[in-house]
Chain A
Amino acid sequence: GEDVEQSLFLSVREGDSSVINCTYTDSSSTYLYWYKQEPGAGLQLLTYIFSNMDMKQDQRLTVLLNKKDKHLSLRIADTQTGDSAIYFCAESQWDNYGQNFVFGPGTRLSVLP
């Protein structure tokens, strides 16, 4: 069955790098996403990677995909207090009905001054 796993908590010091990890089970996933949820808000799409890529960089964000191990990570360089939020990993696959999404439980990132 489909399953997406993440560690639930991560604490880092301001200015350090944060690495949030995610594992998924469905090898047919086409896109993998990272969403950010700030307190009291909805989920905001942060970045995504197509399954035929192994890395994507976008300013302070680096996404690494190891398709063989079904492992996805999000690295945030120079982490700031404004990065404190819950980060959700999600995978999507296509079936006969369209695009199907599965979300992980979310990793709560706390940035300490």
Chain B
Amino acid sequence: NAGVTQTPKFRILKIGQSMTLQCTQDMNHNYMYWYRQDPGMGLKLIYYSVGAGITDKGEVPNGYNVSRSTTEDFPLRLELAAPSQTSVYFCASSYSSRTGYSNQPQHFGDGTRLSIL
């Protein structure tokens, strides 16, 4: 099983450039998430989505945009890259059902390491 796949794995951008980080999952999960992890720090939630066509802001959404046109894909866009966005970005997915409280952990991709110079 592929699970959660993120591309690219590494990228260097110049200040002011834009790019899209790709994330796709093949587990038919309804929830998807984007986190950033700064060196030596924990995870900060950027955006999340509870299903196709629905997205919402997390803790640190400024400078980012997302879309969720399909269940599988949840791309993260940086419009005007800034040095403060140098980080490792993780995409995750989970299945949440309102019909019960079953165990539904998050599954993570391997991350995209982004440097902005």
Contacts and interface: CB of A to CB of B under 8 A. Distances in A.
Interface string A71-97: 000000000000000001010101001
Range of interface residues on chain B? 20 to 34
B94 A99 contact: yes
A98 B106 contact: no
Contact of B31 (A33, A35, A48, A99): A99
Interface string B32-59: 0100000001110000001000000000
Contacts of B110: 41-42
A104 B97 CA distance: 24
Range of interface residues on chain A? 20 to 34
Contacts of A48: 103, 105
- Name B's interface SS: loop
A105 B37 CA distance: 10
Contacts of B106: 43, 45, 90, 101
Interface in A21-66: 30-31, 33, 35, 41-45, 48, 50
B98 A44 contact: no
A97 to B, nearest CB: 6
Contacts of B42: 88, 103-106
Interface of B: 4, 30-31, 33, 41-43, 50, 90, 92, 94, 96-98, 101, 103-111
Given A92-B104, A105-B42, 13 more contacts: A42-B4, A42-B110, A43-B43, A43-B106, A43-B108, A44-B108, A45-B105, A48-B103, A98-B96, A99-B94, A99-B104, A101-B106, A105-B41
